[in-house]
Amino acid sequence: MNNLSQKIFINSKFIKSKSKKFLIVENPSTLQPMGKISIENKTEVNKVAKSVKQEQKKWANLSQLERAKCLHIIANDIEKKSLKPLAKIMSKEVGKPLYESLGELANVASAIRYFAEMARDETGKIAGSTQKGSWQMEIKQPLGVSAHILPFNFPILILIWTVAASLAAGNAVIIKPSEQASFTTLEFMKFFKSLPYNIVACITGDHSTGNAIINNSDVNIVSFTGSVHTAKLIYKDCAKLFKPCHLEGGGSDFMIISDKSDLNFATAAAITSSFHLSGQICTSTEHLLVHEKIYDKFIKLFIKKMHNLTVGDGLNKNEIGPLANIKTFNKAKSILADAKKLGASITFHKNQKSIENKKGYYISPSVIENINTKMKCNNEEIFAPIVTVTKYKNLKQAVEKINKSEFGLGCNLISRDLSENLFVADNIDTGLFWSNNPLIDNDAISFGGIKKSGIGRELGKVGLDTFRRTKMVVIDPEQKIHDWWYPYTKKQLREI
């Protein structure tokens, strides 16, 4: 067991939870227990929310420059400190390869710095006045307290995408990490100790803890990344309370492989986009649409490269780790069984038996062909190292097929043809589009989906505005009685 078992982070320190309920966190690579996380109840949530709300007013009263300096100190600390110990905790807890854990953490400081400066850049605007001598403007203000209910796949990066934006805007934050990434998140809380006020809290738990946070009256906005099912429930709760929310409900992304592309490049892009983090990324490619002219050559080379992937414990220099928990593991097995039952052709990794005999939640990288509309792999988010592959005849047909999906997070195109790139970018019904560069994001560009993939955006100015409210302000320095005020003159009444 570790020193963060059954602890929460509040008032800039770790304290032992008073809750008698807990969950055991296991390493998905070995199924060995890592420790216990407490399940915080409504009473504890209320205490935490009240505490950070009181501190938030002090934080909001600082100038944007002062807040930015505080955030830059956090970024400095992250850049100075060796992140390998934290990355190892992440790899043990989530199952991702160590190289990928380090890669995630390498992108954290830049996002903090971006929002620190973006919040300084503008806090509203002065509009052209409708009346001479009248100052008419809108100002941006913090919402108060934001809640952040987080996923396991990128436990720190997605945390920072929303938490840094909220802090820069002047809010206090309550963080509820995934049950599968709580120790990683708690360990990261140490960086927030440098803040001048106790405006960051992290409390562990399950769905009941999240529900208590969402329905707490001191929480002014909810940010959630996770499943469509949970996003719908949060949306309903927030609607009842007229509480704003930002929801990212996942995706089931397509990659179009054009015949106007290099085959070696196309297969490398597809392998990475499909199997990175064992397919447990909201923007993972779950469906490959390959032009019929190159289908046979593509699938042959793609499967060859899949066979070369190394699968195992992320701490042992493997490329593909296990799935994060029993729930995602069982769903992946169900999707494969369903596809086989309904007549699909499945190609497994050449070492399938040894992979799936490992003690852990390991799924063999797999390719599903000959799919139909009844299969689970065609209708559900897969979230595993499993990809479907089908042919397409022309680009318009491929785009029309993708646009029929209930999801709308991202889409990839692999093509050297500019006209193809422009056509897909203009016509695809997704919030994200990549050409020849999958899985890339940018702190300065908004990130999010449409349809069942989500509501609202992270990153960019839009990501900052998610955690700010807009207020219209009209100031007239002179006290002037306007001609439309009461009482109306006889002349005004005659003009009716």
- The residue type of 32 is Q
Which DSSP category does 355 fall into?
Answer: H
Indicate whether 440 belongs to any domain. Answer: no
Looking at residue 1, what is its pLDDT? Answer: 52
- Taken in order 467, 75, 105, 187, the sign of the CA dihedral is negative
Beta bridge partners of 172: 145
CA–CA dist 429, 426 (Å, integer): 9
CA–CA dist 94, 35 (Å, integer): 14
CA–CA dist 337, 366 (Å, integer): 12
How many CB atoms within 10 Å of residue 241?
Answer: 14
Looking at residue 67, what is its pLDDT? Answer: 98
Low-confidence ranges of the chain (pLDDT < 70): 1
Which DSSP category does 447 fall into?
Answer: B
CA–CA dist 18, 79 (Å, integer): 34
- The residue type of 378 is N
pTM, entire model: 0.96
Looking at residue 496, what is its pLDDT? Answer: 87
Same domain, 291 and 183: no
Same domain, 105 and 224: yes
Q: Return the structure tokens found at 360.
A: 């852990």
Give the angle subtended at the CA of 165 by the CAs of 215 and 88, to the nearest 5°: 90
How many CB atoms within 10 Å of residue 471?
Answer: 11
Same domain, 216 and 330: no
Same domain, 222 and 288: no
Q: From residue 16, give the alpha-carbon distance in Å to each of 41, 355, 435.
A: 14, 39, 48
Q: What is the dihedral of CA 473, 478, 484, 488, to 10 degrees?
A: 140
Same domain, 276 and 371: yes
Indicate whether 479 belongs to any domain. Answer: no
Same domain, 51 and 146: yes
- Taken in order 87, 213, 74, 114, the sign of the CA dihedral is positive
Looking at residue 240, what is its pLDDT? Answer: 97
Same domain, 233 and 297: no
- What phi and psi values does residue 175 have, to the nearest 5 degrees? -110, 125
CATH number (domain holding residue 37): 3.40.605.10
CATH number (domain holding residue 343): 3.40.309.10
Same domain, 40 and 153: yes
Looking at residue 463, what is its pLDDT? Answer: 98
CA–CA dist 399, 254 (Å, integer): 10
Rounded to 10°, the helix 98-106/108-121 angle is 20
Indicate whether 449 belongs to any domain. Answer: no
Q: Mapping DSSP to helix (H, G, I), strand (E, B) and coil, where does residue 472 land?
A: strand
